[in-house]
Amino acid sequence: MSFLKKLDAPTAPNLPLAPLQFDSRYQEGLNNVLRLYFNRLNNIFQAVLGPNGGQYISCPNGLFFNTADQTFAATNTAYPVVYNATYLNNAVALKSGST
């Protein structure tokens, strides 16, 4: 059983036309339509940004490190850092001799 659910983008609601005179039933109906719409928006944002969010967003990442000592000739010169091991990865990988 998959814990992922399909995200459906909520469509903008069709708001009821306002009467010429104030009507509390109209106002309650309008508030209800808007409440339902904003609840759906909130659910989408919770699925994307909540504690388990990001599961619907492609965000490749990795945590790489090197187990060997690396020596550099000069401290004021840029050198590539070579990684030889992976701790965590999501849609990325090291190639042989990666920097």
Radius of gyration of the CA atoms of the chain, in A: 26
Confidence of residue 94 (pLDDT cuts 50, 70, 90): confident
pLDDT in tens, 30-61: 999 999 999 999 888 887 776 666 666 777 88
Confidence of residue 1 (pLDDT cuts 50, 70, 90): very low
Q: What are phi and psi of 29, to 5 degrees?
A: -65, -45
d(C-alpha 55, C-alpha 86), whole Å: 21
| Percent of the chain whose pLDDT exceeds 90 | 33
- pLDDT score at 89: 86
- Tokens coding 69: 């000592």
- How many angstroms separate the Cα of 36 from the Cα of each of 8, 12, 26, 42, 47? 14, 11, 15, 10, 17
| Percent of the chain whose pLDDT exceeds 70 | 85
